[in-house]
A and B are shown apart, each in its own frame.
Chain A
Amino acid sequence: MVLPGVAFFVLFKIIPGLGSVIAFQDFNIFKGIFRSDWVGLDNFRALLSYSEFPRIFRNSLTIGLLKIIFTFPAPVILALLLNELRPGAFKKLSQTALYLPHFLSWVVVSQLFINILSPQGGAVNSVIAFFGGKEIFFMAQEKWFRPIFIISSVWKESGYESIIYLAALAAIPTEQYESAAIDGVGRVQQLLHITLPALLPTIVVVFLLRTGNFLEVGFDQIWTLANPLVWSVADVFDTYVYRVGVLGGAYSMSTAVSMFKSAISLTFLMGGNYVAKKATGRGLF
C-alpha cells in the first residue's frame, strides 16, 4: 500500500536531490550523470568570479529579508484585529475577502497589480492624475520593483496566514480576559500581557520556518511580476537557475547556484533556531 508513495518520494524527491552532484561535474546531457567528467569545485569557482553573481546574490538576500520583515508581522496584526471582533456579518465579510487572494495564481495576482499600476487606465495613476500629480510607470522603474513585490506578497498571503494565529488565539481561555476586564485592565494591556505571550510559541515556529526558506522568494511571483526593464533588481537565485540552467542549458553551473542557495538557507535555519532557543527557550529542533 505504501509502495507507490515511497516510489514517488524516491523518484521525485530523493533522486533529484542526489542529482545535485552534477554541481561537481561538467555535466553532459549525452553522457549522463554516470559518465560525465568530475571537475571538483570548478563550477563554484567559476560562479564566484562571474560578474552577474554578486548581483543575484544581493538581490536574493535583499528580497528575502524584505519579504520576511514585511510579510511576517502582517498576518499577526490581522489576526489580532480579527480576534477583536465579535462574530457577525462584518467579520465574515472581511475574513472571506482577506483569505481569497491566497487561492489565486501569481499569474493573476501579478497581472492585477500590473493593470492597477499601469499608466494606461490603472486606478493608481488615475488617482495621481486627479490630484494633479504626474503619471508614474511603476512597472518600468527599478526603484518600484521591490516595494511592489513586497506589497503584492502581503496582499496575497497575509489574510490566509492569519488563520494559524487565529487558531492559537481561539485557544486562549476567555476567563483570563474576563477577569482582567473586571480588574479594570484595558484591552491594550490585555494584548500585551495575555494575548502576545500566548501567541509567542506559534510566532516562533512560523518565524523559524520562514527563516529556513527565506531564499524561496517565489519563482512564480518574480517571473510574472518582473520584466526586462527591472531585471537588474529582480533576478534572484531561482529565476537565474531557470534562465541559465533550463533555458540556457548550463546544467552544472546552475546546480552549483542551487547548492549555494541551499547552504545559505541551512545556515539561516540553524542560526534562527539558535537565536530563538536563546531568546525564548523554544526552537524547531
Chain B
Amino acid sequence: MAAGKIGRANSAFFKSYGKFGATPVEVGIVYLLLAASTAAVLLPFLHEIAKSFSHPNDVEAGRVLLFPLRPTLGNYRYFLQPEFNALPRAFVNNLFITAFGTLWSVFFTALTAFPVSRPRKEFPAGKGVMALVIFSIVFAPPMIPYFLAVRSYGLIDSWWSLFLPHTVLPFNMTLVVSYYRGLPEELFEACRIDGGGDLRMAFNIAMPLSKPILATVGIYTAVVFWNMFLHPLLFIRSQDLMPLQVFVRSILADAADMAGQDASLNLFSNSQSSKSALVMLTTAPIVLVYPFMQRHFIKGSLSGALKS
C-alpha cells in the first residue's frame, strides 16, 4: 500500500513537529507564520522597554530599536519626582481597588450563583435569576441612564461607584453556576442530613470545592478592575481617588497637547522615552502576575466554550 507508506515513512518527523499527513513544507509554513505572529506581539514590547531605558535624545532621533542606547533609569526616575507624587498614589489606589473589588465581586458572584445552581424544586426562582443574568450579558445598559442612575444613588466620586456596579459579573456567574452544578449531589445531601442549612452548603461545601473556578473568575475580575477606564472616567472626580489607567491617560494626553511648544527644563519631561517608561510601569504588574494566571484563564475559557 503506497498510501500507507506516506504515513509511516515520516512518522519520526511528524512525532516531533507536525501532525499526520502534513508535508515538511506545510509544517515549515506553519512555523514561519506563528513565529511572525509571536514576533509581532513581542517586538513592540521590546522596543518600548529599550526606549524606556534609553537617553531621550537617542529615542527622539529614532536611533533606538530593540536595545537601549546610553542606558539610564532617568525615564523612570522622572515619574518619582515630587511633582509627580500623584502617580505612585494612583498606582496604590489601583492596587487597593483591584484587591478589594476582586474580593467583593468574587464573593457576591459565588454567593448569588449558589441558589441559582440548585435544582428547580429547591429554588424555583433560579431560572428567573439566570434569565436576568443572560439578559444583562446581551444588553448593556445605555450610558446616560446608567450614569444618571449611579449618580442618583449618590456614588459619584466614591470608589463604591467602581465596586457596586461590578458586584456580580454576569459572565463569571454563568461559569460558577455550571461549576457548582458539576459537584457531586451526595455531598449536599449528606450536609442536609447532618442538619446543615443553605448557608452551610454554600460556604462549607460549594465554595471550598470550587476553588479552581473561583481562582479563574478572580483573575478575570482582577483584570477588569486593574484596567478599568470608563467607570472612573464617568464617576471619579478627585485626583486623590483616581485609579491608574485614567491617571496615566491624562498624563499622556496632556503631553500630547503640549508637544512642540514645551521647551522643557527637564530633559525627561514630555519625552518619548518617558512615555515608554510610563507604559512599562502600567504594564509591569500584569506581566509579572501573567505566568501565574495563564494556567487558570485557559481552563476558564474552555469551560465557557463548552457551555456555548
Chain A: interface size category: 35 or more
- Contact between chains at A107 and B168 (CB < 8 Å): no
Neighbouring B residues of A141 by C-beta, 8 Å: none
- The residue in chain A whose Cβ has the minimal distance to the Cβ of B308 is A205
- Contact between chains at A216 and B140 (CB < 8 Å): yes
Q: Which of B30-86 contact A (CB under 8 A)?
A: 30-31, 33-35, 37-38, 40-45, 47-48, 51, 59-65
- Contact between chains at A187 and B144 (CB < 8 Å): no
Is the CB of B245 closer than 8 A to any CB of chain A?
A: yes
Neighbouring B residues of A164 by C-beta, 8 Å: 301, 304-305
- Contact between chains at A81 and B41 (CB < 8 Å): no
- Contact between chains at A103 and B286 (CB < 8 Å): yes
Neighbouring A residues of B26 by C-beta, 8 Å: 84, 186-188
**When the two chains form the complex, which single residue of B34, B48, B273 contacts A112, counting CB atoms closer than 8 Å?**
B48
- Contact between chains at A120 and B129 (CB < 8 Å): no
- Contact between chains at B149 and A19 (CB < 8 Å): yes
- Contact between chains at B143 and A238 (CB < 8 Å): yes
Given the complex of chains A and B, what is the CA–CA distance between A107 and B123 in angstroms?
A: 43
Is the CB of A52 closer than 8 A to any CB of chain B?
A: no
- Contact between chains at A126 and B62 (CB < 8 Å): yes
Stretch at the interface among A60-68, A250-258, A271-279: A250-258
A268 to chain B, nearest CB (A): 13
Is the CB of B88 closer than 8 A to any CB of chain A?
A: no
Neighbouring A residues of B146 by C-beta, 8 Å: 12, 16, 19
- The residue in chain B whose Cβ has the minimal distance to the Cβ of A96 is B294
Is the CB of A20 closer than 8 A to any CB of chain B?
A: yes
- The residue in chain B whose Cβ has the minimal distance to the Cβ of A82 is B34
B residues contacting the other copy or chain, number (CB 8 A): 110
- Contact between chains at A180 and B279 (CB < 8 Å): no
Is the CB of B193 closer than 8 A to any CB of chain A?
A: no
- Contact between chains at A78 and B37 (CB < 8 Å): yes
Given the complex of chains A and B, what is the CA–CA distance between A182 and B20 in angstroms?
A: 8
- The residue in chain B whose Cβ has the minimal distance to the Cβ of A135 is B62
Q: Which of A96-125 contact B (CB under 8 A)?
A: 96-101, 103-108, 111-113, 115-116, 118, 120-123, 125
Is the CB of B223 closer than 8 A to any CB of chain A?
A: yes
- The residue in chain A whose Cβ has the minimal distance to the Cβ of B45 is A112
A112 to chain B, nearest CB (A): 5
Neighbouring B residues of A167 by C-beta, 8 Å: 301-302, 305-306
Q: Which of B152-211 contact A (CB under 8 A)?
A: 153, 164-165, 167-168, 173, 198-199, 202
- Contact between chains at A121 and B144 (CB < 8 Å): no
Is the CB of A163 closer than 8 A to any CB of chain B?
A: yes
- Contact between chains at B3 and A184 (CB < 8 Å): yes
Neighbouring A residues of B34 by C-beta, 8 Å: 81-82, 85, 90, 94
Neighbouring B residues of A6 by C-beta, 8 Å: 112, 129, 132
- Contact between chains at A5 and B141 (CB < 8 Å): no
**When the two chains form the complex, which single residue of B45, B301, B308 contacts A163, counting CB atoms closer than 8 Å?**
B301
- Contact between chains at A186 and B41 (CB < 8 Å): no
A16 to chain B, nearest CB (A): 4
Digitize A7-24: 1 where CB-to-B-CB distance is under 8 Å, 0 elsewhere: 011011111111110100
- With A4-B108, A94-B34 known as contacts, the answer to whether A103 contacts B145 (CB < 8 A) is no
- Contact between chains at B112 and A2 (CB < 8 Å): yes
Is the CB of A93 closer than 8 A to any CB of chain B?
A: yes
- With A2-B116, A177-B19, A242-B143 known as contacts, the answer to whether A125 contacts B44 (CB < 8 A) is no
- Contact between chains at A22 and B144 (CB < 8 Å): yes
- Contact between chains at A97 and B42 (CB < 8 Å): yes
- The residue in chain B whose Cβ has the minimal distance to the Cβ of A255 is B144
Neighbouring A residues of B153 by C-beta, 8 Å: 11
- Contact between chains at B223 and A103 (CB < 8 Å): yes
**When the two chains form the complex, which single residue of A113, A123, A180 contacts B65, counting CB atoms closer than 8 Å?**
A123
Digitize B120-155: 1 where CB-to-A-CB distance is under 8 Å, 0 elsewhere: 000101000100110110111111111111100100
8 contacts between A and B (CB under 8 A): A9-B133, A81-B34, A96-B294, A103-B290, A107-B246, A123-B43, A167-B305, A187-B18
Give the 7 A-B CB pairs with smallest separation, nearest first. Answer: A5-B112, A19-B145, A184-B3, A258-B142, A105-B227, A181-B20, A16-B141
**10 more A-B contacts (CB under 8 A) besides A8-B167, A258-B143?**
A6-B132, A29-B148, A123-B43, A177-B20, A177-B21, A181-B20, A183-B3, A220-B229, A241-B142, A246-B234
State the B residues within 8 Å of A (CB): 2-4, 6-7, 15-23, 26-27, 30-31, 33-35, 37-38, 40-45, 47-48, 51, 59-65, 108-109, 111-112, 114-116, 123, 125, 129, 132-133, 135-136, 138-150, 153, 164-165, 167-168, 173, 198-199, 202, 223, 226-227, 229-230, 233-234, 245-246, 248-249, 252, 256, 272-273, 275-276, 278-279, 282-283, 286-287, 290-291, 293-294, 297-298, 301-302, 304-306, 308
